[in-house]
């Protein structure tokens, strides 16, 4: 499959030959302006990473920078620090009055939170959590909308050494339950609700449903956000505002070991339940602060930085919370949707707050492209000096549109490749040094060792395509999967051996040795920049009483990105009609969350299978993408494919909606 994909994509890429040198005025002021840092980091990666770790405040310095290698590595061994201290306390003397977050609620409220105020709120909640019996090492679940209490909750956990497990507010009760149970969380912090496109997301209701089957949760702390009526269970549920009212705004930060867990964050894998990615303290904080400072060229006293992701995903953890706060910079925190109340909401925020750096995903850029240039054109966006993207391969047209219509044709655009597992950006341009190519993430960050290899693990060299690998550990990478070490080894370190990390992505190297990412090569789909496995959606579908069997594939669409297409065989006696289609979409939303709803569902009496009964997803992918079919000789039931193909016209129409 990767060969096919590589072939496909190379054609498109070869047509994209434009390059952009760093603009002179940008280069001369850049945090990373000297190309020799690559050489320095290559020659002595440990010394390089140590120099980045030194930018943090350590209670006790490490004894060794790096121990071990893939799959087991440790960083800054013996070092002691606290993530919340690095994000807050150390800025108080020089920048306590600096704004940490300009918060903007979807309905229109605005709140300005200084470092001092954030520090006090974090200390209060840290004290509350201790009162509630949360001790060092206990896990705390967080299920909140994009409100200031979300970073406060994360930092309060970090302050007392309790790993947090944030669950994206768009996930369902079932998803929340599974994550709470896997992590064994003791306390859940949630809200009465959140706003999304004018609607209310019933977070407390979902929490109640989840907790009914999450026996480890002892207490629930509820933030009042919408003021909706919610049921509060006596003895279990407590209002956030009542708890912090009397709490002290001072609290020492625990001295944590560099390798102590900072947080768990769940992400989709190819099979089975979501994986609890385990991030530690010293290496993670080093990675996120260093990449944030150098890639986004942060000037903490001047920049207004906006990462328009949701904190529920890793992008928000690393580049809304830990990276920006460690660097003492001012960020925008926006609660809502980009098109609410109108499609220029983002651009009015950029104008009003003078945003200088914007980091978002290709899916958002494509949505703005679709809505039209009149929306950005209505606003003065001249404060922007740097743009970034993450989450999926960015098509060159979208890259160029972003630079032209948002960046005024002058800003560098940094395409950053990384994953929940890597914790921080791994492949990216440095905007004061790197020649940019629309569609390429260019080069590994200093101290990151990446390559592209073939099936046998042999480097393909310049001009070749194959599998992306990382050949040496970096500090911010995850250490294991929570409670499942074997799955950690099997998923990431079996394909090319124990000493090579396989992220699951295809890639190509061009003649300059620059990296072009080609998307996933496994059964993980990338939906609007978020990872959803075909297996999860299939399980949700067959969980419905009318479904006998299902197969799910991703359909690549150059305009829309990847879309979920489901092939479903209803049980005898059930019609595959519009009613069932809507029921199934609603059911998937219920089991996983709205983002996992199939965009199209094709009902079929049978699925193409091999003689041994394996569903041939490869052929279904061909059907979904309207390609010539691949090899069908091993098929048991070849005629069914013609039937399915006949229905593929209907595919465009069925169930397509945002
Ligand atoms: C994809 C998001 C191409 C990739 C930070 C990866 C990208 C998965 C890029 C991780 C990029 C992320 N170009 N593909 N710049 N950035 N990806 O864990 O397939 O939600 O494996 O982390 O997104 O998704 P995750």
Verify whether ligand 1 is closer than 6 Å to residue 531 (CB atom): yes
How far apart CA 163 and CA 57 sit, in angstroms, is: 20
Does 432 reside within a domain?
no
Confidence band for 655, pLDDT divided at 50, 70 and 90 = very low
Residue 592: CATH number of its domain: 3.30.300.30
Nearest CA to ligand 1 atom 8: 419
CA 492, distance to chain mean position in Å, is: 18
How far apart CA 40 and CA 50 sit, in angstroms, is: 12
Does 589 reside within a domain?
yes
- Asked whether residue 523 carries a pLDDT value surpassing 90, the answer given is no
Q: Are 474 and 447 in contact (CB under 8 A)?
A: yes
Nearest CA to ligand 1 atom 20: 530
Q: Which residue has the tokens 């919408």?
A: 226
Does 373 reside within a domain?
no
Nearest CA to ligand 1 atom 25: 419
Nearest CA to ligand 1 atom 5: 419
What is the predicted pLDDT for the residue at 536?
A: 87
Give, for ligand 1, the residue of 364, 419, 515 to mutate: max count of ligand atoms closer than 8 Å to Cβ. Answer: 419
How far apart CA 285 and CA 67 sit, in angstroms, is: 17
- pTM: predicted TM-score of the whole model, two decimal places: 0.92
How far apart CA 445 and CA 431 sit, in angstroms, is: 12
How far apart CA 400 and CA 19 sit, in angstroms, is: 11
Q: Are 609 and 627 in contact (CB under 8 A)?
A: no
Rounded to the nearest angstrom, the distance between the alpha carbon of 391 and the centre of ligand 1 is 4
Does 322 reside within a domain?
no
> What is the tens place of the pLDDT at every residue in 559-601?
788 999 999 999 989 999 999 999 999 999 999 999 999 999 9
Give, for ligand 1, the residue of 391, 478, 562 to mutate: max count of ligand atoms closer than 8 Å to Cβ. Answer: 391
What is the predicted pLDDT for the residue at 105?
A: 97
Rounded to the nearest angstrom, the distance between the alpha carbon of 425 and the centre of ligand 1 is 10
Confidence band for 630, pLDDT divided at 50, 70 and 90 = confident
What is the DSSP secondary-structure string of 475-486?
A: TTS--EETT-HH
Confidence band for 4, pLDDT divided at 50, 70 and 90 = low
Verify whether ligand 1 is closer than 6 Å to residue 390 (CB atom): yes
Q: Which residue has the tokens 């209701």?
A: 205
> Considering only CA atoms, which of 33, 302, 260, 172 is closest in space to residue 589?
172
What is the predicted pLDDT for the residue at 618?
A: 83
Verify whether ligand 1 is closer than 6 Å to residue 393 (CB atom): yes
Paired sense of beta strands 449-453 and 465-472, if any: antiparallel
* DSSP reduced 3-state for 595: helix
Rounded to the nearest angstrom, the distance between the alpha carbon of 7 and the centre of ligand 1 is 20
Rounded to the nearest angstrom, the distance between the alpha carbon of 423 and the centre of ligand 1 is 11
Nearest CA to ligand 1 atom 24: 419
- Asked whether residue 223 carries a pLDDT value surpassing 50, the answer given is yes
What is the predicted pLDDT for the residue at 15?
A: 56
Phi, psi of 473 (to 5 degrees): -65, 155
Rounded to the nearest angstrom, the distance between the alpha carbon of 121 and the centre of ligand 1 is 33
Verify whether ligand 1 is closer than 6 Å to residue 267 (CB atom): yes
Give, for ligand 1, the residue of 442, 516, 526, 556 to mutate: max count of ligand atoms closer than 8 Å to Cβ. Answer: 526
Q: Which residue has the tokens 């260093």?
A: 290
How far apart CA 442 and CA 435 sit, in angstroms, is: 8
Q: Which residues pair with 263 in a beta bridge?
A: 164, 279
Farthest-apart Cα atoms in the chain, separation: 74
Q: Are 388 and 445 in contact (CB under 8 A)?
A: no
> Considering only CA atoms, which of 233, 269, 156 is closest in space to residue 523?
269
Nearest CA to ligand 1 atom 11: 417
Give, for ligand 1, the residue of 390, 399, 420, 444 to mutate: max count of ligand atoms closer than 8 Å to Cβ. Answer: 390
Residues in CB range of 392: below 8 A, 6 or more apart: 361, 362, 363, 519, 526, 529, 561, 562
Phi, psi of 326 (to 5 degrees): -60, -35
> What is the tens place of the pLDDT at every residue in 97-131?
999 999 999 999 999 999 999 999 999 999 999 99
Does 364 reside within a domain?
no
> What is the tens place of the pLDDT at every residue in 162-204?
999 999 999 999 999 999 999 999 999 999 999 999 899 999 9
Confidence band for 656, pLDDT divided at 50, 70 and 90 = very low
How far apart CA 338 and CA 335 sit, in angstroms, is: 10
What is the predicted pLDDT for the residue at 264?
A: 98
How far apart CA 287 and CA 64 sit, in angstroms, is: 17
Rounded to the nearest angstrom, the distance between the alpha carbon of 390 and the centre of ligand 1 is 7
To the nearest whole number, what is the mean pLDDT of the chain? Answer: 93
Atom of ligand 1 nearest to the CA of 520: 19
* For residues 41-58, average pLDDT: 98
Atom of ligand 1 nearest to the CA of 389: 15
Residue-wise burial string across 163-190, b where 16 or more C-beta atoms lie within 10 A, e elsewhere: bbbbbbbbbbbbbbbbbbbbbbbbbbbb
* For residues 266-271, average pLDDT: 84
- Asked whether residue 632 carries a pLDDT value surpassing 80, the answer given is no
At 640, list the tokens.
């069914």
Atom of ligand 1 nearest to the CA of 504: 21
Verify whether ligand 1 is closer than 6 Å to residue 520 (CB atom): yes
Verify whether ligand 1 is closer than 6 Å to residue 123 (CB atom): no
> Considering only CA atoms, which of 100, 46, 56 is closest in space to residue 79?
56
> Considering only CA atoms, which of 292, 264, 294, 293 is closest in space to residue 279?
264
Domain count, the chain: 1
> Considering only CA atoms, which of 94, 83, 93 is closest in space to residue 126?
83
CA distances from 301 to 317, 319, 391 (A): 22, 17, 28
For the chain, percent of residues with pLDDT exceeding 70:
96
Verify whether ligand 1 is closer than 6 Å to residue 62 (CB atom): no
- E-strand stretches of 542-651: 547-557, 561-570, 600-603
> Considering only CA atoms, which of 340, 305, 337 is closest in space to residue 321?
305
Verify whether ligand 1 is closer than 6 Å to residue 522 (CB atom): no
> What is the tens place of the pLDDT at every residue in 334-388?
999 999 999 999 999 999 999 999 999 999 999 999 999 999 999 999 999 999 9
- E-strand stretches of 417-485: 449-453, 465-472, 480-481
What 3 state SS string does 260-313 have?
CEEEEEEECCCCCCCEEEEEECHHHHHHHHHHHHHHCCCCCCCCEEEECCCCCC
What is the predicted pLDDT for the residue at 634?
A: 74
What 3 state SS string does 156-207 have?
HHHHHCCCEEECCCCECHHHHHHHHHHHCCCEEEEECCEEECCEEECHHHHH
Residue 581: domain span: 531-652
What is the predicted pLDDT for the residue at 178?
A: 95
> What is the tens place of the pLDDT at every residue in 434-460?
999 999 999 999 999 999 999 999 999
Atom of ligand 1 nearest to the CA of 315: 5
Q: Which residues pair with 331 in a beta bridge?
A: 101, 305
Verify whether ligand 1 is closer than 6 Å to residue 420 (CB atom): yes
Verify whether ligand 1 is closer than 6 Å to residue 506 (CB atom): no
Verify whether ligand 1 is closer than 6 Å to residue 103 (CB atom): no
CA 379, distance to chain mean position in Å, is: 29
Does 648 reside within a domain?
yes
Verify whether ligand 1 is closer than 6 Å to residue 503 (CB atom): yes
- Asked whether residue 647 carries a pLDDT value surpassing 90, the answer given is no
Confidence band for 650, pLDDT divided at 50, 70 and 90 = low
Give, for ligand 1, the residue of 309, 398, 402, 417 to mutate: max count of ligand atoms closer than 8 Å to Cβ. Answer: 417
Q: Is 485 left (phi over 0), alpha (psi -120 to 50) or beta?
A: alpha
Atom of ligand 1 nearest to the CA of 530: 20
Q: CB burial class (10 A; 0-12, 13-18, 19+) of residue 377?
A: exposed
> What is the tens place of the pLDDT at every residue in 392-413?
989 888 999 999 999 999 999 9
- Asked whether residue 525 carries a pLDDT value surpassing 70, the answer given is yes
What is the predicted pLDDT for the residue at 649?
A: 59
Verify whether ligand 1 is closer than 6 Å to residue 418 (CB atom): yes
- Asked whether residue 541 carries a pLDDT value surpassing 90, the answer given is yes
Verify whether ligand 1 is closer than 6 Å to residue 122 (CB atom): no
Verify whether ligand 1 is closer than 6 Å to residue 505 (CB atom): yes
Sheet holding 110-114, edge to edge: 110-114, 99-104, 330-334, 304-307, 357-360, 386-390, 413-416
Phi, psi of 74 (to 5 degrees): -130, 145
């Amino acid at each position: 499959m990767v060969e096919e994909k590589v072939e496909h994509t190379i054609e498109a890429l070869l047509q994209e030959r434009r390059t952009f040198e760093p603009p002179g005025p940008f280069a001369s002021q850049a945090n990373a302006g000297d190309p020799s840092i690559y050489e320095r980091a290559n020659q002595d990666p440990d010394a390089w990473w140590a120099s980045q770790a030194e930018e943090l405040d350590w209670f006790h310095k490490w004894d060794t920078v790096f121990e071990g290698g893939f799959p087991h590595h440790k960083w800054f061994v013996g070092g002691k620090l606290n993530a919340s201290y690095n994000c807050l306390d150390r800025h108080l003397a020089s920048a306590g009055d600096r704004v940490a977050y300009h918060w903007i609620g979807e309905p229109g409220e605005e709140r300005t939170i200084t470092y001092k105020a954030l520090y006090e709120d974090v200390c209060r909640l840290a004290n509350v959590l201790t009162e509630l019996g949360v001790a060092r090492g206990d896990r705390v679940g967080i299920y909140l909308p994009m409100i200031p209490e979300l970073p406060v909750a994360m930092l309060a956990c970090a302050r007392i050494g309790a790993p947090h497990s944030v669950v994206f507010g768009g996930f369902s009760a079932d998803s929340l339950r599974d994550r709470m149970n896997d992590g064994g969380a003791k306390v859940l912090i949630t809200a009465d609700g959140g706003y999304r496109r004018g609607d209310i997301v019933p977070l407390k209701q979902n929490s109640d449903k989840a907790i009914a089957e999450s026996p480890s949760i002892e207490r629930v702390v509820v933030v009042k956000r919408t003021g909706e009526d919610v049921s509060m269970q006596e003895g279990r549920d407590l209002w956030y505002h009542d708890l912090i009212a009397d709490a002290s705004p001072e609290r020492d930060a625990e001295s944590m070991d560099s390798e102590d867990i900072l947080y768990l964050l769940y992400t989709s894998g190819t099979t089975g339940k979501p994986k609890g990615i385990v991030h530690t303290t010293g290496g993670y904080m080093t990675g996120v602060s260093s990449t944030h400072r150098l890639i986004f060229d942060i000037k903490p006293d001047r920049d207004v930085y906006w990462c328009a992701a949701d904190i529920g995903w890793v992008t928000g953890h690393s580049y809304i919370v830990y990276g920006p706060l460690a660097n003492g910079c001012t960020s925008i925190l926006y609660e809502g949707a980009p098109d609410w109340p109108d499609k220029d909401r983002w651009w009015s925020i950029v104008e009003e707050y003078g945003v200088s750096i914007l980091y978002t995903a290709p899916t958002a850029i494509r949505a703005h492209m679709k809505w039209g240039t009149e929306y950005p054109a209505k606003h003065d966006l001249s404060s922007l000096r740097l743009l970034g993207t993450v989450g999926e391969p960015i098509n060159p047209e979208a890259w160029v549109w972003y630079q032209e219509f948002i960046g005024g044709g002058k800003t560098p655009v940094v395409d950053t490749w990384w994953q929940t597992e890597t914790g921080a950006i791994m492949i990216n341009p440095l905007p004061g040094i790197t020649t940019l190519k629309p569609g390429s993430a260019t080069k590994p960050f200093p101290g990151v060792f990446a390559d592209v290899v073939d099936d046998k693990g042999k480097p393909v060299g310049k001009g070749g395509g194959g599998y992306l690998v990382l050949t040496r550990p970096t500090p911010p990478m995850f250490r294991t999967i929570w409670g499942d070490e074997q799955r950690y080894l099997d998923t990431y370190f079996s394909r090319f051996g124990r000493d090579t990390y396989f992220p699951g992505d295809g890639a190509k190297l061009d003649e300059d040795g620059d990296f072009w990412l080609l998307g996933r090569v496994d059964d993980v789909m990338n939906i609007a920049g978020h990872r959803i496995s075909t297996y999860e959606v299939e399980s949700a579908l067959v969980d419905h009483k009318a479904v006998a069997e299902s197969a799910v594939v991703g359909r690549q669409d150059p305009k829309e990105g990847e879309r979920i297409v489901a092939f479903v065989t209803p049980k005898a006696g059930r019609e595959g009609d519009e009613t069932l289609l809507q029921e199934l979409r609603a059911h998937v939303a219920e089991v996983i969350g709205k983002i996992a709803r199939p965009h199209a569902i094709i009902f079929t009496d049978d699925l193409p299978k091999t003689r041994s009964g394996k569903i041939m997803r490869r052929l279904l992918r061909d059907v979904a993408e309207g390609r010539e079919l691949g090899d069908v000789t091993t098929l048991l039931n070849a005629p069914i494919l013609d039937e399915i193909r006949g229905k593929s016209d209907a595919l465009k129409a069925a169930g397509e909606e945002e």
